[in-house]
């Protein structure tokens, strides 16, 4: 394979990450959360990676991020949808999780998101407004 084929299209700017998060399309696995934003056009799928400080110190977070990047580099070109943007959020178990299982989880999560399994027709996508009426302490 050429180096261009191995290089993954990335998102690096905060507005891009927020745009993906605002679509509220996600699939949760034991080692990561995959967020997705459908897009138009014929551009290759893009990916972004984030691991919070809850996962551990910088060395641990970097290891988790590298594992997610490598799994994504192997899976996304074949199973990702053209024009879509993905964000992988590392979870604490992503550091020690079996790599083959992580790749299988990524294939499963992509298939579920593309099929619309995360969309529940009876559930609104926005958070409901809290009502302070009838709280019991009037």
Q: What is the CATH number of domain 26-110?
A: 3.30.230.10
> What pTM does this model have?
0.78
Q: Average per-residue pLDDT in the chain?
A: 84
State the number of CA atoms in the 13 A half-sphere of 72 facing the CB.
29
Handedness of CA 83, 75, 98, 117 (dihedral sign): positive
Per-residue pLDDT of 99-130, as tens digits, reads: 999 999 999 999 998 888 777 655 555 555 55
DSSP H helices in 1-138: 3-6, 14-22, 58-79, 99-115
Whether residue 4 is predicted with pLDDT greater than 70 in this model: the reply is no
pLDDT computed for residue 40 by the predictor: 76
Strand-pair partners of 37: 85
């Amino acid at each position: 394979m050429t180096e261009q084929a191995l290089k993954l299209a990335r998102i690096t700017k905060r507005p891009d990450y927020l745009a993906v998060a605002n679509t509220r399309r996600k699939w949760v696995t034991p080692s990561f959360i995959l967020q997705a934003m459908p897009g138009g056009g014929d551009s290759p799928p893009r990916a972004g990676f984030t691991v919070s400080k809850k996962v551990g110190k910088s060395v641990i977070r970097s290891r988790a991020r590298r594992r997610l990047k490598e799994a994504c580099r192997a899976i996304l070109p074949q199973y990702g949808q053209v024009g879509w943007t993905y964000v992988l959020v590392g979870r604490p178990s992503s550091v020690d999780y079996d790599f083959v299982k992580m790749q299988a989880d990524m294939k499963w999560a992509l298939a579920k998101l593309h099929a619309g399994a995360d969309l529940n027709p009876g559930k609104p996508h926005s958070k409901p407004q809290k009502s302070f009426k009838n709280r019991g302490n009037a």
